[in-house]
């Protein structure tokens, strides 16, 4: 009951900030514009981190750690390191291009309506792959705090997100996302510190006792494939380069006044993410001592919410559970609304250009599909599914953006070929790894973590198809404008 | 009987198909010639004409006797000059076997010639068609020149009324409140610079709002601060590029036609936010409002000239840049204020602030 109450309070607070907060820059003084142009890079970075830290980070990371061992922390490394690539390769030029989304950028750089539509389709694929684990996380959390069946939680989560977007969340609000980062950090960090103190010296010692061969091995082994090094590299490639291509992340950099501050914001995000990812690790370590039974029978993704009850009993236990549940729900809410908005924007603006875009319908439709896809996905690990979304982004939009920004010779035909090959290879591999059960070995890794071969493949196809063709005459000036300071 | 009907219908549908083909060919020709004889499509227009005439060769020539585009084996320069000289001298068709030339008369003015070899059909109607396409191209260019001239008018159209009022207000405060007078004078200078600045067609929302702000500060001083002014902007939309002078005329309109006729205090609010891929800017006043039908006629360009320039011009320019579905939206009723909404895509190819 306490959990539901906490989630309700969180929803109400988000609504209030969503409706009032956008309008917080209310002023009757002439200084207003100067102030709002200087929107602090810190707040901006908080908003990006708030949108980025999803159920995958709050629930999935600790769950995967419990299941596969310390090596799962490479996910956190990749999620954070992605912003190094973003800051170095795309943040500044994207800000200068004036493009808000990847389809916009493709239109700017290659001037082809077809590529624009192709990109919009890939946006849908990535967003749905990313939304499914979010909805799964919400369903699991609601199931834990209220006892309702999984499907009720998922449907309810879909309704909550759609309604909250329709009621004011449409205005992708910097303040709401920033608020959600704080909620997530506090609601995960404070209970974590409390639990560490409360667990006692013995438990702490046994949590930190590691054997370097199995659980404590610092490499990630996917489904016991026996190829931990390859799997780790592939994962790092997917998460690092995937962050470059995530459609909903890129548009956030436009809040910065200049390309320089855009880069500074990216650095701020790295700091904030690094701080946040300390805490899922705490839950993973403690979970191994207090809730090992989750590995056998239960859903490891629930460890973050189940842990407080297992360590502290009585009223305090349920209060802590409620706080953690609210934090997890904040993760779900902020990420899903950002994702749904990007999805709906692509659906209404890029794919169906006729008439004034019907955003609300597109939001409802996108949420419906995501809910339907999530219902049978209870057995899929949150982080694994998010990893696929990153892998698809890394093998489609990352090559498009990187080559588009840094290479004049890219042609529309080359980009289209690379995008099609990338999206087919990455989603195909992910589907194959869900539907089939290949024997252990490198094939398992290449299907479950496809980035190692799909990313180079997409780059290669884009370059090879572009080379014989002739780039349009204005390509030179279009690329130049991306790099001229100002 | 049945056979005959079927035969007739078959004949009819063949006719219909032929008509459709011809119409499509005419449309394509028009599209090819959209930039005039000197444009990029001239070559493809020549090829299309050759197919339509089933001719051996088709040449488009301009008034200087230069060959602009050719399909099929081109004539010797001497041959071409001879046949062109004959056409241009009399402004009538000329034949110098195997070549024949037809003058292209655009809006009553000789502007080129269509030179053909071995054509099966009549040359004159096709030459008339080409001339009409060229005429369309000229009209299209004229239309964009008019739009630019309208924008210049709008920039130059700071009413003498406003200039006088602003200076009078500043003058009145020089002794009593020198600091405020100084700020106002700076605002005034900024406002003038922005309105007269000649560079570029697009500005960022932030720049446009700055101009609005300075304008409103001056108006507020005139109203003795009886006007309440609220600006609410989500930071996401500040760097968005929009056509130059879109927000400012709307605000000016709200002040002049909404608040000025209204006795007592008034309030005006400008707000902007992102709605997915769109940027929405709303200008709301609690002034006298107007009849919705009247607002419609103003947007259609039929209102009294004083109002027409601002609203209709902004509406037209928005539609010209972003497409017909992105015009102004006006919500109003007599006595209950006016709300004008601008709703444009945040990114549009070619729209870029300087």
* Residue of chain A whose alpha carbon sits nearest to that of B186: A30
Mean pLDDT over the full length of chain A: 82
Residues B182 and B290 in one domain: yes
Q: What is the pLDDT of residue A25?
A: 44
Q: Are residues B326 and B188 in the same domain?
A: yes
A344 and chain B in contact, CB less than 8 A: yes
> Which residues of chain B does A36 touch, with a Cβ-Cβ cutoff of 8 Å?
233, 235, 238
Residue B151, domain member (yes or no): no
- The model's pTM is 0.75
**B238·A111 Cβ contact <8 A:** no
Residues B202 and B313 placed together within one structural domain of the fold: yes
| B129 within some domain | yes
Are B195 and B337 part of one and the same domain? yes
Annotate A1-35 with b (16+ C-beta within 10 A) or e (fewer).
ebbbebbeebbebbbebbeebbbebebeebebbee
CB A32 within 8 A of CB B231: yes
Judged by average pLDDT, the poorest of A81-85, A162-166, A214-218, A372-376 is A214-218
DSSP for B219-257, written as a single string = HHHHTTT-EEEEEEE-GGGTT-EEESSSHHHHHHHIIII
Among the partner-chain residues B213, B214, B278, the one whose CB lies closest to the CB of A357 is: B278
Say yes or no: B173 and B274 in one domain. Answer: yes
Is B276–A26 a contact, with Cβ atoms under 8 angstroms apart? Answer: no
What does the alpha-carbon distance between residue A387 and residue A377 come to, in Å, rounded to a whole number? 15
Give the orientation angle of helix A174-199 with respect to helix A41-52, to 10 degrees: 70
Residue B160: is its pLDDT beyond 50? yes
Dihedral sign computed on CA atoms, order A399, A405, A410, A413: positive
Tell me: the pLDDT tens digits for A357-386? 577 788 888 889 999 988 888 878 888 888
Find chain A residues with C-beta within 8 A of B239's C-beta.
Answer: 98, 254, 257
Record: contact B347-A345, CB cut-off 8 A: no
**Given A98, A173, A345, which is nearest B234 (Cβ)?**
A173
Residue listed under structure tokens 């009757």: A28
* Partner-chain residue, chosen from A30, A104, A174, that has the shortest CB–CB distance to B235: A174
Nearest CA in chain A to B351: A98
Q: Is the pLDDT of residue B330 over 60?
A: yes
Average pLDDT over residues B263-275: 84
Is the pLDDT at B52 greater than 70? The verdict is yes
DSSP 8-state secondary structure symbol assigned to residue A375: G
CATH number at residue B247: 3.30.565.10
Q: Which of B210, B229, B278 sits opposite A28 (nearest CB)?
A: B229
Would an 8 Å CB–CB cutoff place B271 in contact with chain A? yes
Same domain membership, residue B123 and residue B209: no
Whose tokens are 């924008």? That residue is B151
- C-alpha torsion sign, points A450, A455, A460, A463: positive
Domains of chain A: 2-21+35-378 (1.20.1730.10)
Answer whether A33 sits within 8 Å of B234, measured CB to CB: no
Q: What is the mean pLDDT of residues B111-123?
A: 82
Which of A161-164's residues contact partners 24+ apart within 8 Å by CB, and which partners? Answer: A161/A333, A161/A336, A161/A337, A161/A340, A161/A367, A162/A340, A162/A363, A162/A364, A162/A367, A164/A11, A164/A14, A164/A15, A164/A18, A164/A333, A164/A337
B214-228 pLDDT per residue, tens: 888 888 887 777 788
Nearest CA in chain B to A363: B276
Instruction: Please indicate whether, in this complex, the C-beta atoms of A33 and B325 are within 8 angstroms of each other.
Output: no
Contact A27 B217 (CB under 8 A): no
Q: What is the DSSP string of B311-326?
A: HHHHHHHHHHHH-GGG
Distance from CA of A420 to the nearest CA of B (A): 23
**Contact A193/B at CB under 8 A:** no
Which residue does chain B place closest to A106, by CA atoms? Answer: B349
List of residues 6+ apart from B46 with CB closer than 8 A: B58, B59, B60, B69, B70, B71
- Paired residues of A40 in beta bridges: none
Long-range contacts of B330-335 (CB under 8 A, 24+ apart): B330/B292, B330/B295, B330/B299, B332/B289, B332/B290, B332/B291, B332/B292, B332/B295, B333/B289, B333/B291, B333/B292, B334/B288, B334/B289, B334/B290, B334/B291, B335/B288, B335/B289
Per the structure, the count of domains in chain B is: 2
Residue in the structure block whose two tokens are 């004159």: B124
Tell me if A59 sits within 8 A of A294, measured CB to CB. Answer: no
Q: Which residues in chain B are contacts of A30 at CB distance < 8 A?
A: 183, 187, 213-214, 217
From B238's Cα to the closest Cα of chain A, the distance in A is: 7
B99-106 and B94-96 strand pairing: antiparallel
**Cα nearest neighbour of A350 on chain B:** B277
The verdict on B180 touching A (C-beta cutoff 8 Å) is no
Q: What is the DSSP string of B52-115?
A: HHT-SEEEEEETTS-EEEEESSPPPHHHHHHHHHHHHHHTS-EEETTEEEEEEEETTEEEEEEE
Q: Give the structural domain span for B135.
A: 13-139
pLDDT mean over B157-177: 79
Mean pLDDT of B313-317: 82
On whether residue B146 sits in a domain, the answer given is: no
Give yes or no: residues B63 and B164 share one domain. no
Contact assessment for residue A89 and residue A335, using Cβ atoms and an 8 Å cutoff: no
- The region, left, alpha or beta by phi > 0 then psi within -120 to 50, assigned to residue B264 is left
Q: Could you tell me if A108 and A99 are in contact, meaning their C-beta atoms sit under 8 angstroms apart? A: yes
> Between chains, do B277 and A348 touch, taking CB under 8 Å as contact?
yes
Contacts of B326 in chain A (CB under 8 A): 356
Is residue A307 pLDDT above 80, yes or no?
yes
Residue B127 lies in a domain: yes
* Whether residue B39 has a cis bond before it, omega within 30° of 0: no
Q: With bands split at pLDDT 50, 70 and 90, how would you rate the model's confidence at A461?
A: very high
Residue pLDDT, tens place only, A177-193 = 788 888 888 888 888 88
| B31 is a domain residue | yes
One domain for residues B81 and B30: yes
Q: How confident is the model at residue A30 (pLDDT cuts 50, 70, 90)?
A: very low
Q: Which residues of B touch A28 (CB under 8 A)?
A: 228-231
B253 — contact with chain A (CB < 8 Å)? no
**Would B6 be classed as within a structural domain?**
no
Distance CA B247, CA B153 (A): 16
Is pLDDT at B66 greater than 50 in this prediction?
A: yes
Do residues B174 and B316 share a domain?
A: yes
Residue A174, chain B, CB below 8 Å: the answer is: yes
The confidence score (pLDDT) of residue A100 equals 79
In a domain, residue B353? The reply is no
Closest-CA distance of chain B to residue A147, Å: 35
**Closest alpha carbon to B283 in B303, B256, B308:** B256
Rounded to two decimals, the ipTM of the complex is 0.72
Non-local CB neighbours of B325 within 8 Å, separated by 6+ positions: A355, A356
8 Å CB contact of A27 and B231: yes
Contacts of B231 in chain A (CB under 8 A): 25-28, 32-33
Looking at the fold, whether B325 and B208 belong to one and the same domain comes out as yes
Chain B residue with CA closest to A96: the answer is B352
Interface test with B, best of A42, A100, A265 (most B CBs within 10 A): A100
Is pLDDT above 70 for B157? Answer: no
Contact A22 B273 (CB under 8 A): yes
Cα distance between residue B25 and residue B38, in whole Å = 20
Is A356 within 8 Å of chain B by CB?
A: yes
Gap from A460 CA to chain B (nearest CA, Å): 28
* Beta-ladder partners of B135: none
Q: Nearest chain A Cα to B209, which residue?
A: A33
**Across the A/B interface, how many CB contacts are shorter than 8 Å?**
98
Any B CB within 8 A of A98 CB: yes
Contact with chain B for residue A349, Cβ under 8 A = yes
Confidence of residue A33 (pLDDT cuts 50, 70, 90): very low
Identity of the residue in B209, B278, B343 whose CB atom sits nearest the CB atom of A33: B209
pLDDT tens track for A434-449: 887 767 677 888 888 8
Domain with B22 in it: what CATH number?
Answer: 3.30.450.40
Mind telling me how many Å the CA of B214 is from chain A's nearest CA? 8
Partner residue facing B346 (CB), from A23, A100, A173: A100
Burial class (CB in 10 A: 0-12, 13-18, 19+), B196: exposed
Cα–Cα dist A14/A12, whole Å: 5
Both B186 and B123 in a single domain? no
Q: Examine residue B350 and state whether it is found in any structural domain, yes or no.
A: no
Q: Residues A470-484: what's their mean pLDDT?
A: 83
Whether residues B269 and B313 fall in one domain: yes
Q: Is A37 on the interface with B (CB under 8 A)?
A: yes
Q: How confident is the model at residue A111 (pLDDT cuts 50, 70, 90)?
A: confident
Q: Is A441 exposed, middle or buried (0-12, 13-18, 19+ CB in 10 A)?
A: exposed
- pLDDT at residue B246, rounded to an integer: 86
Chain B residues in contact with A348 (beta carbon < 8 A): 276-277
Are A395 and A458 in contact, with CB atoms under 8 Å apart?
A: yes
């Amino acid at each position: 009951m306490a959990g539901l109450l906490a989630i309700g309070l969180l929803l109400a607070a988000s609504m209030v900030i969503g409706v009032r907060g956008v309008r917080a820059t209310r002023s009757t003084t002439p200084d207003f514009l100067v102030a709002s142009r200087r929107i602090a890079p810190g707040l901006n970075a908080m908003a990006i981190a708030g949108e980025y830290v999803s159920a995958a980070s709050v629930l999935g990371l600790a769950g995967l750690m419990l299941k596969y061992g310390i090596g799962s922390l490479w996910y956190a490394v990749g999620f954070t390191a992605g912003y190094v690539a973003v800051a170095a390769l795309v943040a500044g030029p994207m800000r200068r291009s004036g493009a808000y989304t990847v389809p916009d950028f493709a239109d700017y750089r290659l001037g082809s309506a077809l590529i624009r539509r192709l990109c919009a389709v890939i946006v849908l694929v990535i967003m749905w792959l990313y939304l499914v684990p979010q909805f799964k996380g919400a369903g699991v959390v609601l199931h834990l705090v209220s006892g309702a069946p999984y499907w009720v939680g998922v449907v309810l989560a879909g309704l909550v997100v759609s309604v909250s977007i329709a009621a004011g969340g449409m205005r992708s609000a910097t303040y709401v996302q920033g608020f959600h980062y704080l909620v997530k950090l506090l609601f995960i960090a404070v209970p974590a510190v409390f639990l560490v103190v409360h667990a006692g010296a013995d438990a702490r010692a046994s949590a930190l006792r590691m054997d370097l061969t199995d659980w404590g091995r610092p490499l990630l082994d996917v489904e016991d494939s026996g190829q931990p090094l390859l799997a780790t590299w592939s994962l790092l490639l997917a998460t690092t380069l995937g962050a470059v291509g995530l459609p909903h992340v890129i548009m956030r950099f436009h809040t910065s006044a200049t390309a320089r501050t855009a880069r500074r914001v990216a650095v701020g995000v790295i700091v904030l993410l690094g701080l946040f990812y300390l805490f899922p690790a705490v839950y993973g370590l403690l979970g191994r001592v207090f809730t090992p039974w989750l590995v056998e029978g239960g859903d490891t993704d629930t460890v973050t919410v189940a842990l407080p009850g297992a360590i502290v009993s009585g009223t305090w236990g349920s209060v802590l559970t409620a706080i953690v549940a609210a934090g997890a729900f904040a993760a779900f809410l902020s990420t899903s609304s950002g994702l749904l908005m990007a999805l709906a924007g692509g659906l209404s603006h890029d794919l169906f250009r006729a008439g004034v875009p019907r955003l609300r319908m597109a939001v409802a439709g996108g949420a419906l599909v995501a809910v339907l896809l999530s219902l049978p996905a209870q057995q899929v690990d949150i982080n694994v599914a998010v990893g696929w979304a990153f892998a698809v982004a890394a093998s489609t939009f990352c090559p498009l953006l990187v080559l588009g920004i840094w290479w004049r010779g890219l042609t529309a035909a080359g980009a289209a070929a690379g995008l099609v090959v990338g999206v087919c290879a990455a989603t195909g591999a992910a589907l194959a790894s869900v539907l089939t059960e290949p024997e252990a070995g490198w094939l398992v890794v290449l299907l479950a973590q496809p980035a190692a071969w799909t990313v180079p493949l997409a780059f290669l196809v884009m370059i090879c198809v572009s080379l014989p063709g002739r780039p349009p005459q204005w390509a030179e000036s279009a690329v130049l404008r991306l790099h001229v300071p100002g | 009987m049945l056979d005959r009907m079927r035969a007739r219908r078959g004949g009819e549908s063949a006719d219909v198909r032929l008509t459709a083909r011809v119409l499509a060919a005419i449309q394509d020709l028009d599209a090819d010639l959209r930039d005039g004889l000197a444009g990029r499509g001239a070559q493809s227009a020549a090829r299309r004409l050759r197919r339509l005439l089933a001719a051996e060769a088709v040449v488009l020539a301009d008034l200087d006797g230069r060959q602009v585009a050719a399909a099929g084996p081109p004539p010797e320069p001497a041959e071409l000059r001879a046949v062109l000289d004959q056409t241009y001298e009399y402004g009538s068709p000329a034949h110098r076997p195997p070549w024949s030339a037809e003058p292209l008369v655009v809006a009553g003015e000789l502007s080129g010639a269509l030179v053909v070899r071995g054509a099966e059909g009549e040359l004159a109607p096709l030459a008339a068609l080409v001339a009409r396409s060229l005429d369309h191209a000229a009209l299209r260019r004229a239309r964009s020149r008019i739009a630019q001239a309208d924008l210049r008018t709008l920039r130059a159209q700071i009413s003498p009324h406003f200039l006088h009022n602003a200076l009078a207000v500043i003058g009145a405060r020089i002794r009593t409140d020198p600091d405020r007078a100084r700020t106002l004078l700076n605002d005034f200078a900024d406002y003038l610079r922005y309105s007269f600045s000649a560079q570029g067609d697009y500005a960022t929302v932030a720049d446009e709002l700055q101009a609005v702000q300075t304008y409103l500060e001056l108006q507020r001083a005139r109203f003795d601060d009886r006007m309440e002014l609220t600006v609410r902007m989500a930071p996401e939309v500040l760097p968005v590029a929009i056509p130059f002078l879109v927000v400012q005329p709307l605000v000016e309109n709200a002040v002049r036609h909404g608040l000025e006729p209204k006795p007592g205090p008034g309030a005006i609010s400008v707000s902007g936010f992102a709605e997915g891929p769109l940027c929405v800017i709303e200008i709301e006043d609690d002034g006298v409002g107007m009849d919705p039908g009247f607002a419609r006629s103003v947007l259609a360009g039929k209102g009294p000239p004083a109002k027409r320039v601002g609203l209709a011009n902004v509406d037209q320019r928005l539609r010209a840049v972003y497409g017909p579905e992105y015009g102004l939206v006006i919500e109003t009723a007599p006595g209950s204020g006016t709300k004008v909404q601008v709703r444009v895509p945040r990114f549009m190819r070619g729209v870029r602030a300087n």
